[in-house]
Structure 1
Amino acid sequence: MNLREFATKNVQRNAKAYFAYFLSSTISAALLFSFTMLVFHPDFDVSLFPQHIKNSFYVTTVIAYLFLCFFVFYSISVFLKSRYKEFGILYIIGASKKLVQKMIRIENMLISSVAAVAGILVGLIFSKILLAASGKLLGYDALKFYFPVKAMIITFSAFVIIGIVISTFCTFIIREDKVLNLIKGTKRPRPEPKASVILSIICIVLLAVGYFLSVTSSIKTITNRIIPVTTMVVVATYLLFSQLSVFVIKLLKRNRNLYMKKTTMLWVSNLLYRVKDNTRMFFLITITSTVALSAIGSVYAYWRDKEYQINREFPQAFVFSNTYENKDEVDLKTDFIEDSLKDEGIPYTKASNEIKFVIPDGDADEVVIINETGYKKLASTLALNTIPFNENETIKHSSFSADKRKNISLNNIKLEVTKESDKGILPTIHRDVNVANYNKGVYVVKDEIYERITGVKYYFGALNVEDYKDTLNISENFYNNFENIDENNKFYNNSLKAYILESTKIAYGVLLFSVIFIGLIFFVTTGSFLYNKCYMDIIEDKTKYKQLNKIGLTFKEIKSILNIEIGVLFLLPYIVAVVHFAFAISAMKHSLGIEITVPALQVIGIMLIAQIIYFFIIRKNYLLEMKKSLI
């Protein structure tokens, strides 16, 4: 028997251990192949997308591939550690370090290559459904089937490279100078896990502060809080599993009435070691699950309610604005749209006026003001009832704003904000296209007050129609005719609602497709982590529970203990991830004003169902193996 045959026999002999890794690799290969097949589809021209959309495809592919590399390395390293005794025996009977490394390399290459081929076949089988679904998601008609040779080559090459690179790194895990440790395997005595009270308190404080900053975020503060909140939650998550959970379990041990009750002693003691031993795995699964849930939940929320978002942020079908010195340019654009609407026979309403950007007294942020006359013109285009107000008062129209001031002072003129409407009358107008500007709303003041207030004057033209979706061709013609007119002007604003909706459909479709793809990669691979851990644990558990069974512990009692232990292993990281996700979406809801509760519950529900199904499958196999060992 040569080395290649010996390595092949090893894979066959350890089929159960390798099965989850092989299955996960196959599914991952199928996902990577499907994604690549879509990107290289002849009818799917990525080059026509804006640069940030194209970048999202490339970044998605890189993230997925890097995570696959990490997943393969983690899975293989865990599995190799379970074979310490086998490697120790090989060294004792004369196998060289180079020979063992070569054997590991052959095994990894064999599995990676077969998984890549199997993944490509699975991808081809479901390609028709995938192309139809992804085409709809991305705003295309059903994409036709084609034979994706380039996607096959890329997928197979990617997994072969993973096999080569990871095999090289994995050979450093098994060291010849530790033969005695290899022979002992993972059965060396371990001291009882310890927990620090101070670190446990720090964990609680970090979580409390992080969650508080999340739910109190506003549109102005969320950008500055993302990094510190994420850092606090990540650190707290590690401390939660390494310190706080161990501390809580030790408190349970001190409760003698609970601890000495029936089989509680066994599962509490076992959990103490399981949680501590699996800290890194729990941490990894929790963070990746939180990222996947947050990404899918937030993007799905936007994608699901994209028309509502567009209607809220862009009240009119067309709005053009520029500095007052460029008034003629705005009128030229407005006249073009007006003539196009007449040619199409589409009825419309029109309004034009000026606004001012003013810095309130004692404030650093500009606000937009409009006179009452202009306000009434805009209200008529939207069929809105105007709100009456007095000379020393102002009303605010804002589709969404974190600015809740009750009074405002403009050029020493104090005005009371008597009414705030959630109906926007203008889209966000930027003073500079290179500088981000939040939509703080528009303050309406009396004409006399408006003239007394100094500020930067902008001129706008607005047109509205009953169904703006019918104006997509007009919007595209506008950009074809005015493509170069704004090149050297950084103060213009062009708001064409139908064009924005179409671009948003594609943008959010691409993002949603990308995050679902990455989320599936995360879910499949983390599931494999859990399977690998269960496989390693069952070898030790068989011996332990066989001895306990001999002294009177029944299989029913063993089953109840294992239900708790496996349940914690599978569900604890997910529960923590869901809690993190709940606070993350709360921050999005309060700061960005999007309705994310229903989409979030849908995402959580789907992931929970999948996790429970996977839990029952693993639990059934685990208990079946345990029952066989007791016979």
Structure 2
Amino acid sequence: MTLRRLAFNNVVRNKRLYAAYFGSSAFSVTIFFVCALIAFNPGLREGIVYDVALQMMIAAECILFAFCFGFVLYSVGSFLRTRKREFGILLLHGMTPGQLAAMVAVENMIIGCGAIAAGLAVGTLTGKLFLLIGSGILGVAELPFHLSWRVPVLTVGAFLVLFGVISVCTTGLVRGKRLNELFLSGRKPEPEPFASPMLAVLGALLLTVGYALAATSTIATVYVRIVPVVGMTIVGTYLAYTQLGVAFVRLMRRRRRTVWRGTRLWTISHMAFRLKDNARMLFAVTIVSAVSFCSVGVFASIQSLSKQFREDYLAAVVYIAKDGSGVDRSHLADIEAELAAKGLAYGVVRMPIKYAAVEASTAPSPPRLMPIVSFSDYRKTVEQAGFAFGEPPLTGDEALVMLGAQRDRRAADVRTPASYTLRANGLSVREIGHTKHVPIPDYLSDDLAGEAAGGFGGVVVADELFGRIAAEKTDRFTGYYVSDYERTFGLAAGLAPDGVVRYDSDQPYAMTVSCTLAAVQRSLYGTMLFAALLVGTVFFIAAGSMLYFRLYADLDDDGRQYAAVSKLGLTEKELNRSVTVQLATLFFAPIAFAIVHSAFAFAALQSFFPLSIAAETGGVLLGFVAAQTAYFAVIRHRYIRNLNRYLHST
């Protein structure tokens, strides 16, 4: 028998054990193939977000490749540990360590090549379905199925390199093992699970403090807390499985009135050993699941920003003529001509935007030039858009910070009011709050020396004070307001192809076409969500695969234990109930942990959003729980069936 034939027989013989690993690898190849299929699709090149979509697909492929490398290496290492006795027999019959390493490498390449072939086949067959889903989420026209030669070449090349490197790495895992160590693998009696009380308490304390910091985070503190919270959560989770879980089970065993009934004592005792043996695997599943939940949840939550788009862009078209610009008359004439050609009635608001030099300020980093508009002009922009205006007039040196977007409201709420002294004539301006509406949208005011990150977009002052301010420069704001907002899509495409010309561009003007910009943002958010869904799904399936092959790797040992207990009178019904409890704990404990981690992460994330993201995050978590429940039902049925088959054969 040749070495290749022996390796092939080993793979076929262990097909039950390798099933989840093979399936996860094939699914990863499929998703990688789909990302490349979208990235090289000619229909996407015609879209307005092609550059962003291409970058997101490339980023998704890089993340998938890095994750698959770690997942495959972990999986192969786990499989090799379950085959130590088999390797010992082969070495005893004359196989050299080099031949053993070569056999393992060939086995891995057989599975890898099979996964690549299966992934390509599934990707090709389901490519059109993924393109339909992707075009719907991206908000672009239906993408045609186009299989460029680059797609399979990139996919096959990337995963051949991955499995080849893994094959080389795994040869080191089977070298240097002594025969007695290989034969005694799995035969040594397991010591009683032990937990350190100090480490158990430390794990609980780290999780508690981490959760508390996440729940109480504000937009001003979340950046400072994110790294320590993530670190405490990871360490606390590891200690929870390796120490706290074992300590909890040992504590339960002391409650004789509760535990010493029926099969509870045996179930709980067996669970203590399962937690000890599977602690690292459960920890890995928890972290991978939490990353999956958070990645999908974050990008699903970003979609909530589009709900306030109409409040961020009050006017259908805003045109800012920079100081000294001489092209605004012809541009405005073209815009008005297009509005008339579409049969759209519109209202117009024109106002000056003064930029005054700041000489002194109590702000930590005041702007060099501060945009200023009058209170009456601000009121016109709100009322012309059809929104109710109820803010009291300003008097004296009072000022309101202008919001650049509604998402800045949280930052503005915690902003410390500042005072300014203007250079030209020594006038003072004093902040007393912020505007409720957005007079000048994002992208349409000059650089504010970093203050925009704190919710600062300039100030609104009293009309009397505005008239006395000497400006370094004055821009001219023109806003067009229409009732049929959606019909302005594509307006002024020659001036703003993607719906926006930023103030910091080299053009003599800045402008936004709200409906076009809204479509671009929806496509952008959809692109990020689609990439997160693809990557998150791979993470979630990989986490389930870790549970699967760990269970089936221990099936023979579990069968022997259950057979021994059944001889003492354990019925098949009691066995099924006990196994169900243990499997449910292994399956849902990491998911429950991951959900709790994600819930507190979303609580911290909420500080960035003016609207509640509970619906989006709740929907994501419920979807993953439903998928895990279905997966558990299938695995439980197969596991109990195989276990009963093993018991009946003994």
TM-score, with structure 2 as normaliser: 0.87
| Distance apart, 1:171 and its partner CA | 1.6
1:139-183 Cα shifts (integer Å, max 9, x gaps): 222222334543223323333323221111112111344211111
- The 1-side partners of 2:88 and 2:616 are apart by 52
**Matched position secondary structure for 2:353:** strand
Task: Output aligned runs, 1:345-494, within 5 Å.
Answer: 345-351=343-349, 352-354=351-353, 362-364=362-364, 370-387=373-390, 388-389=392-393, 391=395, 398=403, 399-400=406-407, 401-402=409-410, 403-404=412-413, 409=419, 411=421, 417=432, 422-428=436-442, 429-432=444-447, 435=450, 437-438=452-453, 439-440=455-456, 444-451=460-467, 459-461=475-477, 462-479=479-496, 489=506, 493-494=510-511
Is residue 301–residue 594 contact of structure 1 (8 Å, CA) maintained in 2?
no
| Distance apart, 1:414 and its partner CA | 8.4
Is residue 219–residue 608 contact of structure 2 (8 Å, CA) maintained in 1?
yes
* Correspondence for 1:541: 558
- The 1-side partners of 2:55 and 2:577 are apart by 50
1:484-541 Cα shifts (integer Å, max 9, x gaps): 9977759975333123212212212221111111011112211111111001221211
Task: Output aligned runs, 1:500-579, within 5 Å.
Answer: 500-579=517-596
- The 1-side partners of 2:553 and 2:589 are apart by 19
- The 2-side partners of 1:14 and 1:481 are apart by 55
Task: Output aligned runs, 1:33-44, within 5 Å.
Answer: 33-44=33-44
- The 2-side partners of 1:614 and 1:135 are apart by 28
**Alignment CA distance shift 1:341-1:571 (3 Å):** same
Unaligned runs of 5+ in 1: none
* Correspondence for 2:424: none
**Alignment CA distance shift 1:621-1:486 (3 Å):** closer
User: AA paired with 1:28?
Assistant: S
- The 2-side partners of 1:108 and 1:573 are apart by 28
**Alignment CA distance shift 1:273-1:344 (3 Å):** same
- The 2-side partners of 1:451 and 1:32 are apart by 61
Is residue 374–residue 463 contact of structure 2 (8 Å, CA) maintained in 1?
yes
| Distance apart, 1:469 and its partner CA | 3.0
* Correspondence for 1:102: 102
| Distance apart, 1:63 and its partner CA | 0.6
**Alignment CA distance shift 1:365-1:564 (3 Å):** farther
Identity of aligned residues (%): 28
Is residue 57–residue 514 contact of structure 1 (8 Å, CA) maintained in 2?
yes
User: AA paired with 1:517?
Assistant: L
User: 1:16 and 2:16 equivalent?
Assistant: yes
- The 2-side partners of 1:570 and 1:312 are apart by 44
User: 1:609 and 2:626 equivalent?
Assistant: yes
- The 1-side partners of 2:240 and 2:507 are apart by 50
User: AA paired with 2:393?
Assistant: F
**Matched position secondary structure for 2:496:** helix
**Matched position secondary structure for 2:480:** strand
1:542-577 Cα shifts (integer Å, max 9, x gaps): 111111111222222222221121111111111111
1:160-209 Cα shifts (integer Å, max 9, x gaps): 32322111111211134421111112332333333333333333333233
- The 2-side partners of 1:573 and 1:375 are apart by 52
**Matched position secondary structure for 1:219:** coil
Is residue 430–residue 436 contact of structure 1 (8 Å, CA) maintained in 2?
no
Q: Which moved more, 1:502-511 or 1:47-56?
A: 47-56
Aligned residues: 628
1:570-616 Cα shifts (integer Å, max 9, x gaps): 11111111111111222222222243211212211211111011111
* Correspondence for 1:145: 145
* Correspondence for 2:267: 267
User: 1:158 and 2:172 equivalent?
Assistant: no
**Alignment CA distance shift 1:95-1:227 (3 Å):** same
- The 1-side partners of 2:469 and 2:272 are apart by 69
Is residue 252–residue 259 contact of structure 1 (8 Å, CA) maintained in 2?
yes
**Matched position secondary structure for 1:319:** strand
**Alignment CA distance shift 1:384-1:408 (3 Å):** farther
User: AA paired with 1:193?
Assistant: P
Is residue 397–residue 421 contact of structure 1 (8 Å, CA) maintained in 2?
yes
**Alignment CA distance shift 1:14-1:376 (3 Å):** closer
Q: Which moved more, 1:534-543 or 1:218-227?
A: 218-227
* Correspondence for 2:6: 6
* Correspondence for 1:189: 189
1:82-135 Cα shifts (integer Å, max 9, x gaps): 111000111111100111112112211111112221222222222222222212
Task: Output aligned runs, 1:233-272, within 5 Å.
Answer: 233-272=233-272
Unaligned runs of 5+ in 2: 422-426
**Alignment CA distance shift 1:594-1:50 (3 Å):** farther
RMSD: 3.3
**Matched position secondary structure for 1:278:** helix
1:342-374 Cα shifts (integer Å, max 9, x gaps): 444322222222256779953326586532221
